[in-house]
Amino acid sequence: MPKPEKLIVKIENVHKAYGKEKVLRGISMDINESEVVVLVGPSGTGKSTLLRCINQLTVPDSGKVWVDGVELTNPKTDKDKARQHIGMVFQDFNLFNHLTTLDNIMLGLVHVLGMKKEEAYDKAMLELERVGLANKYGSYPGQLSGGQKQRVAIARSLAMEPIVMLFDEPTSALDPELIGEVLTVMKDLAEGGMTMICVTHEIGFAREVCSRIVFMEHGEIVEQGLPVKMLNNPDMQRTKDFLGKISVLD
Amino acid sequence: MEVLTVLVPYILRGLSITLEVTAVALGLGLFFGSILAILRVYGGDLLSRVLTLFVTLLRALPHILLLLIIYFIIARVVNLSAFWAGSLSLAIISSAYQSEIIRGAIQSVPGGQMMAARSIGMNRIKAIWHVIIPQAFRYAIPPWSNEAAIVIKDSSLVYVLGVPEILRQAQYYSARTYQPLTAYVTVAAIYFLLTFITNRGLDLLERHIRIPT
């Protein structure tokens, strides 16, 4: 018996423009618990903007967004509180440069969740172990490789016990030989049942791990579906052209 | 012998005032300069414009003119001593320059740092305090040591209000003993030492808190 599906993220008719440039033109999407959604599309189609609209780092011009039943687009919602449990991983890592890896993880635990230092320390060490970097607890971001930085960034988000994780091109800034270690961590997460929305061009990851591929172009969803269908025989010619192109790179 | 018994007490008394004026000007300047800088970067368009205008005006005034305005106009109303009128004038001026230094430093912190802090649920103030400021202050140290050197020397301006800092004291000494050379060379050496020590200290601080790479 599959458990009844629980809606985690609901996006309803979201529009966003920067000046005259319409980046999102009415995006709607439902994401259920434990779903792993991969957003693909040419650059400049609004994938990253859509991710940032989910946790309201970018405020949409119109439309609504719910995460775990809370409407984030409602002005009365405490957005800081909502963001505590929406993890986000960035293309360029954005680790706090002046803090060790351990302190990077502890900062939110102590100053956002109000944990005691000792408790936060234990939790942070646990998260570092989970991404295989417990031995790097005292290193500063500048002393880590790109792959290690991204794993620490993932650990930092996971420590906050997110209900959904947003990945914004998590491997695009990495040297090819470092991509694998980050994808492995993401795969483990997905297998552990984490709800994930990933902007990525890693088609291998999409094929193996994700439950749905969403193809976006010009601020609209062109087509979405199971990876098998989207990669092998999509309905739209545009989807086929684009996925065909990036699959060659894979 | 007269040098030791007369010059030294004169200079020492002046030195402590010079140090006090400098400390007030730099300290308050840093405090208000930081607030100005933070408000200019994060305080929204209107506030930012008003404060930028304020900074521009302050930077356009000869320092000595502000001292005179504060002492002869404002200090009459709010009852400030010459020492405080002078020190506060220098602090206000320095806050304008320091706000520029700190604003530049804040803007040198990559935008992703704020985004990452907000993404884990930090509010803006916490993010500024725990993430932006610690990095910005590191960037600010080299230009700040420049400002410190300027303020040390500008502390001599309170002399026009009759505050007996070292330059004033040296002048008294010179007038009394007809030995301007001894007086002014000593004072020059002291300014050199103060500036040198301050810059060395800031240099060490910068190295001490440098983020390891």
Query: Residue A172 is encoded by which pair of tokens?
Result: 């695009």
Is A48 a residue whose pLDDT tops 60?
Answer: yes
In tens, the pLDDT along A220-243 reads 999 999 999 999 999 999 999 998
pLDDT tens digits, one per residue of A156-193: 999 999 999 999 999 999 999 999 999 999 999 999 99
Describe the strand order of the beta sheet including A62-67 as a list of residue ranges: A21-32, A7-18, A62-67, A70-71
Nearest to A81 among B118, B121, B134 (CB): B121
CB-nearest to B122 from A97, A111, A143 is A111
**DSSP string across A115-167:** --HHHHHHHHHHHHHHTT-GGGTT--GGGS-HHHHHHHHHHHHHHT--SEEEE
pLDDT of residue A142: 95
Contact criterion met (CB below 8 Å) for B67 and B85:
yes
Residues facing residue A225 across a β-bridge: A213
CB distance B116–A84 less than 8 Å? no
In B, minimum Cα distance to A112 occurs at B122
Interface predicted TM-score (ipTM): 0.92
Q: What is the mean pLDDT of chain B?
A: 94
Please report the number of interchain residue pairs, chain A to chain B, with beta-carbon separation below 8 angstroms: 70
Residue A15: CA count within 13 A, CB half-sphere: 9
Determine whether the interchain pair A84/B121 forms a contact, defined as Cβ–Cβ distance below 8 Å.
yes
Chain B hits for A146, CB-CB cut-off 8 Å, are: none
Tell me which residues of chain B have a pLDDT lower than 70.
Answer: 1-2
> Which CATH entry fits the domain spanning A1-83+196-250: 3.40.830.10, 3.40.50.2000, 3.40.50.300, 3.90.780.10?
3.40.50.300
Per residue in B38-77, pLDDT (tens digit) is 999 999 999 999 999 999 999 999 999 999 999 999 988 8
> Residue A162: phi, psi to the nearest 5?
-75, 155
Q: Chain A partners of B212 at a C-beta cutoff of 8 Å?
A: 140, 142-143
Residue A250 — pLDDT band, cuts 50, 70, 90? low
Q: Residue B131: its chain A contacts at CB < 8 A?
A: 96, 107
Task: List the domain range (segments joined by +) for residue B126.
Answer: 2-209
User: Could you give the CA distance from residue B98 to residue B91 in angstroms, rounded to a whole number?
Assistant: 10
- Cβ separation of A112 and B126 shorter than 8 Å? yes
Task: Please give the full DSSP string across A195-214, using - where no structure is assigned.
Answer: -EEEE---HHHHHHH-SEEE
| Pair A213, A233: CB distance under 8 Å | no
Domain count along chain B = 1
B→A contacts (Cβ < 8 Å), by residue, are: 110, 112-113, 115-123, 126, 130-131, 134-135, 138, 211-213
Is A108 close to B131, i.e. CB distance below 8 A?
no
- DSSP category for residue B195: H
Cα–Cα nearest to B151, from B111, B93, B213 = B93
The whole-model pTM stands at 0.90
Q: How large is the average pLDDT for residues A67-71? A: 95
Domain residue limits, chain A: 1-83+196-250
A112 → closest Cβ in B113, B121, B138 = B121
